[in-house]
Structure 1
Amino acid sequence: MIDPVFKKIRSASLNKIPICRSGFWSGKSIYTFSYKHKDTFYSLVSITHSFIIYFFSIAMITNCDPSKMENVCDTSSKSYSKTIAAKSLLGDESPHCFPMNGSSFTVGGKISGLTGSGLTLILNHKNTLVIPAGSTEFSFPTQIPIGSNYEVNFATQAEGNFCELANSSGKVSNKNIKDIEIFCKASCVKCIIFITQNGYPANIGKASNFDSSCHSDPNYPGTGNYKAMVVDGISRRASLTANLGDGQIDWVFKASQAYIRPGGVNIETSNANGLFTSSLSTPITTVSSDHWTGLNSDWTSYLDGACLKWTTKATFELGMTGDAYTQDILTLTAGRGLQNCSVNRELVCVEQ
């Protein structure tokens, strides 16, 4: 009797087979039967035969065309489907895609309706890009590594425009980001400031998420786009330096802009940095308020007083609050001091 012996044959050349250049797939080991026999010639023939069949089977399935730079990580490419088929045939459950180290891509998109100058975008809270008036597209020169998160926000709005973002955040996969959209329209001439009737919870996620409450509140004037005067130092910031207005992110007050109450009574005109550094001509409201701000009295962010950047309503966490029934900036921004995050509070809403 001839005893069969199960032999495992490995080929160094098959440990990794390139799949269309953009990724790598680990080849499976080949298993074949040979027999103990005095004549080793037949064993060598069997080994060679198995090797040839394996190699040409893989070649036929993957069929990589060196003239095409398809990406095996791209689910819409032919290389992806061929790789999955080959791995399924061989019972290989290892990851099919290992992106090449060092790959990075640009972040950009389309713009519509931009007529004013001064629009400035910020990428991942640090890289800024000034957009000229009339632009219809943009792209940050800074490239983001594959697999990294990206987020685009407004540093400053354009003169005479109110712009909004869509598809502004995500994760870089295997191509340049081109689907961010910016929609611009004419901004208010004399912009309204109002206090919400209702109080709102602190755990909204981030400062800019309070904006939607301005539009759903019973005191909403009925028209216009509004943002809440609340900061977290990340999604919204008024100033890095006391009363200077530097490093702004999606700030609610525009430079040299006149602001009024819903009934038309003048409140004050902001300075060239989009701040109020002296007293207001008229209080924003006619009754005392208790509203969230996250601000110091000098317009810098109170990072330890923003309910963990507006992510919690725990009773032991605190958030900075103000009172809008005042002409004093200190009272408006931080006059009520640190208050418990578990209590719903009002918002100062500013038309854009």
Structure 2
Amino acid sequence: MWTSIPTYTFLFITFLLLVFLFCGKCFASNPRFSSPEGAPFCLLSCDDKKDDNKDLFLFLLNSLGSSNTTTTTTATSCKDAAFCKTFIATNNGAGYNGNLGGIAGADAKCTAAKPSTLTGTYKALIVDQQTRYVVSAGDGSPDRKDWVLYPSKQYRRSDGTTITFTTNTNSMVTANLQNGIDSGAQKFFWTGLSHPDDPGFFLWEGGRTCNQWGDANPGATGAAGNTTAVAPHITPAAMGNPGGAFTVDTWTCDQNKNLLCVEQ
């Protein structure tokens, strides 16, 4: 097992090694310098080697200092910031079928698709009612697990300027959006979120989830939101409505949709 050595101890030991390296001949030829105590005198007395090795000696000392300077990158969080950002992961325009590899797979896709201009960690706004959810399936009451939205938080597009929505105290969106979630043509993104008008489900319950996001068969269904709607929840598009920003459009799981990735 490795034991951590304090930096100052490491530097001192390395310095002594450098002394012996560049003054080896002095130690060998002059008994006065044959002990560590004589090392400083050796450095001053090795005139025949000092000029030849000065630049290399300084280079090694500088490299030693640089090697002990570490830069630690810490992922930032928007939890205490004025707002968080979102972006749409499109898989280079191809989208993703319902077999996302579960919640973890969806999050990994957000990580892989994150633009280089964004910092921090992003997760998929998607539920499976097992490992990630925001309400109880029993009575629809607030009950968060690994949820990706913060309570009472403003969210913006990836440009950091365009405000899209603000969550309520239960980390859901119930008020109309200020702008669509993303610019450009309408894009649909998997969510799994339900609406009370979707029979048998509560608002934002994980209902149609392509079998916990592991199924790409046409016999399974998944709920999706879209990027242009400003009403957060509208009755299913199949009932003659365009669907809300978060609920509820239902698609078969063999179809390819996008992911809404949210800063953490």
The answer to whether structure 1 residue 193 and structure 2 residue 86 are counterparts is yes
User: What letter is aligned with 1:351?
Assistant: E
Contact (CA 8 Å) 1:244, 1:273: kept in 2 or not?
Answer: no
Alignment pair present for 1:280 and 2:182: no
Name the CA distance, whole Å, in 1 between partners of 2:108 and 2:205: 23
In the alignment, structure 1 segments of 5+ residues that lack a partner are 1-183
Residues 1:343 and 2:262 aligned together: no
Query: Is 1:270 the equivalent of 2:164?
Result: no
Note the 1:256-335 alignment, pairs <5 A.
Answer: 256-263=152-159, 264-286=161-183, 287-297=185-195, 298-302=203-207, 305-330=208-233, 331-335=244-248
Q: Deviations over 1:247-269 (max 9, x none)?
A: 11111100111211111211232
> Could you give the per-residue CA deviations for residues 21-72 of structure 1, whole angstroms, max 9, x where no partner exists?
xxxxxxxxxxxxxxxxxxxxxxxxxxxxxxxxxxxxxxxxxxxxxxxxxxxx
For 1:98-128, what per-residue CA distance to the aligned partner results, in whole angstroms no more than 9, with x for missing partners?
A: xxxxxxxxxxxxxxxxxxxxxxxxxxxxxxx
Q: How far is the alpha carbon of 1:186 from its aligned partner?
A: 4.7
Counting aligned pairs with the same residue, the percent is 29
For these two proteins, the number of residue pairs brought into alignment is: 166
Choose which of 236, 251, 254 in structure 1 pairs with 2:150: 254
Partner Cα separation in structure 2 for residue 292 and residue 231 of structure 1: 9
1:210 is paired with a residue whose SS is helix
Q: Structure 2: how far apart are the matches of 1:186 and 1:332?
A: 27
Shift of 1:316: 1.5
Say which structure is richer in strand.
1
Q: 1: CA distance between counterparts of 2:102 and 2:164?
A: 28
**Residues 249, 220 of structure 1: CA spacing in aligned structure 2 closer, same or farther, 3 A cutoff?**
farther
2 CA distance for matches of 1:308 and 1:241?
16
Partner amino acid, structure 2, of 1:333: F
8 Å CA contact 2:118–2:158 kept in 1: the answer is no
- Three-state SS of the structure 2 residue aligned to 1:349 is strand
Equivalent residue letter for 1:348: L
Q: 1:315 to 1:268 in 2, by over 3 A?
A: closer
In the TM superposition, what are the counterparts of 1:221-260 in structure 2 within 5 Å? Answer: 221-240=117-136, 246-260=142-156
Contact 2:85–2:155 under 8 Å retained in 1: yes
In structure 1, how many angstroms separate the alpha carbons of the residues matched to 2:217 and 2:180?
Answer: 31
SS in 2 for 1:238: strand
Shift of residue 204 of structure 1? 2.6
Match of 1:94 in 2: none
**Equivalent residue of 1:339, what SS?**
strand
TM-score, scaled relative to structure 2? 0.58
Structure 1 length-normalised TM: 0.44
Q: SS of the residue aligned with 1:315?
A: coil
For structure 2, the 5+ residue unaligned runs are 1-73, 196-202, 234-243
**Cα distance, 1:230–1:220 mapped onto 2, change above 3 Å:** farther
Write the distance in 2 (CA, Å) between the matches of 1:243 and 1:326.
27
2:216 partner amino acid? K
Is 2:188–2:225's contact at 8 Å kept on the other side of the alignment?
yes
Cα 1:203–1:252 change in 2 (3 A) is: same
SS in 1 for 2:133: coil
Q: Report the counterpart of residue 237 of structure 2 in structure 1.
A: none
Between the two structures, name the one with larger relative contact order (CA 8 Å, sep ≥ 6).
Answer: 2
**Aligned letter for 1:248?**
R
Q: Does structure 1 conserve the Cα–Cα contact (< 8 Å) formed by 2:75 and 2:120?
A: no
Q: Is the 8 A contact 1:259 1:267 kept in 2?
A: yes
Indicate if the aligned counterparts of 1:214 and 1:220 stay in contact, CA closer than 8 A.
no
Taking the aligned partners of 1:243 and 1:295, their CA distance within structure 2 comes to: 15
Matched, 1:211 2:107: yes
